[in-house]
Amino acid sequence: MARTTNIHLFPDPGTVIRPIHVYSEEQTAQIEELRQYAHSLVLPESDSYYNWELRWLNKPDTIPRYMRAAKWKMNDAQKRIKGTLEWRREFKPDLIPPDEVKIESETGKILLNGFDKDGRPIIYMRPGRENTETSPRQLRHLVWWLERAKDMMPAGQETLVIFVDYKTATLRTNPSVSVAIKVLSILQQHYVETLGRAIIVNLPFILNFFYKGIAPFLDPVTRDKMRFNPVVTELIPESQLDSEFGGAYEYEFDYESYWKQVVDHCGIAPDGTRLPGYFDGPKSAITAPENGVVPTTVDVEDISKEKDAEARHEALEEEAIF
């Protein structure tokens, strides 16, 4: 396969989205109870973040994820979602301006590219490509990619893959244990039930202490999702997997091209809001049929036309939304 700078924005045709969660009548009632509780906490309509908060709460996966994370214990679920609402109001993860974190992407140390066999978007992390000093911006950069991965999830998919490659990592480039703990805190508290699988490859012996240091802070569920040096082609289609890891995808990282593809696909405006027609996600997002199978063809043009029609209506309220 010839080398390319084009990134994968969709799973392979025919991919079966997994897992698909089915809830009992009792669980459905609990989800609705938590939904009503969460909406009782919503900001007033006069608040500039109101529409974004409502947008997050109304996503079909949000409330069920918090119930599952709390193991269906209502008090715990309410505490968790209240904590995340407070965090999102302060951090505003869905409104990070692209230029605020763009410099962090210059070396490709974090790449969102491709999907696994279950239709999960893949975030590659290469600590060896670290290009900046430790700062709050590094954390916001990671959150930016978590939000973009959420944007790219096909309908029915609620989780992502984090693929960590330590091939060129050193003690200097590897994040400190304290930074890693902050990352874990955000993942485990505010992106609950979002990690589907963590793949770790090329971990040098000298960095074993790093995982020993963060082990006490790993939720048992998170720990169970970690795979060290697996046969990657058993988890990711060769067509979607970077050739560096045994795939057939000859991807060549080009910083400006990569950044533009992601920003354009997700419709991110310079101030971090969304371009007209993108408020609910990418124009070319796949709506999977009921059986959860990605269609064999994706007619981006037709989907875009539908979204554009919606955009004309949304534009009338644009200033109020953004």
Average of per-residue pLDDT across 167-193: 77
Token couple for 275: 């371009």
208 pLDDT higher than 70: no
Q: How many domains does the chain have?
A: 1
Instruction: Give the whole-angstrom CA distance, residue 28 versus residue 72.
Output: 11
Instruction: Give the whole-angstrom CA distance, residue 73 versus residue 68.
Output: 9
Average of per-residue pLDDT across 311-315: 40
Q: Is residue 293 part of a domain?
A: no
Q: Is residue 22 part of a domain?
A: no
**pLDDT (tens digit, 9 = 90+) per residue, 255-292?**
999 999 999 999 999 999 999 999 988 976 555 545 66
**Amino acid identity for residue 156 in this structure:** G
Average of per-residue pLDDT across 40-54: 98
Task: Give the domain CATH number at 254.
Answer: 3.40.525.10
- Domain ranges, residue 163: 98-260
Q: Is residue 4 part of a domain?
A: no
Q: Is residue 280 part of a domain?
A: no
Q: What per-residue confidence (pLDDT) applies to 292?
A: 66
**pLDDT (tens digit, 9 = 90+) per residue, 74-127?**
999 999 999 999 999 999 999 999 999 999 999 999 999 999 999 999 999 998
Q: Is residue 231 part of a domain?
A: yes
Average of per-residue pLDDT across 151-159: 96
Q: Is residue 278 part of a domain?
A: no
Question: Phi and psi for 242 in degrees, rounded to 5?
Answer: -55, 135
Place of tokens 């709460």: 57
Radius of gyration of the chain (CA): 20
Tell me, yes or no, if the pTM score tops 0.95: no
Q: What per-residue confidence (pLDDT) applies to 296?
A: 55
Q: Is residue 303 part of a domain?
A: no
Q: What per-residue confidence (pLDDT) applies to 310?
A: 41
Q: What per-residue confidence (pLDDT) applies to 293?
A: 75
Place of tokens 């430790």: 134
Q: Is residue 57 part of a domain?
A: no
Instruction: Give the whole-angstrom CA distance, residue 22 versus residue 154.
Output: 17
The residue ranking higher by pLDDT, 127 or 59, is 59
Contact status, residue 174 vs residue 306, Cβ threshold 8 Å: no
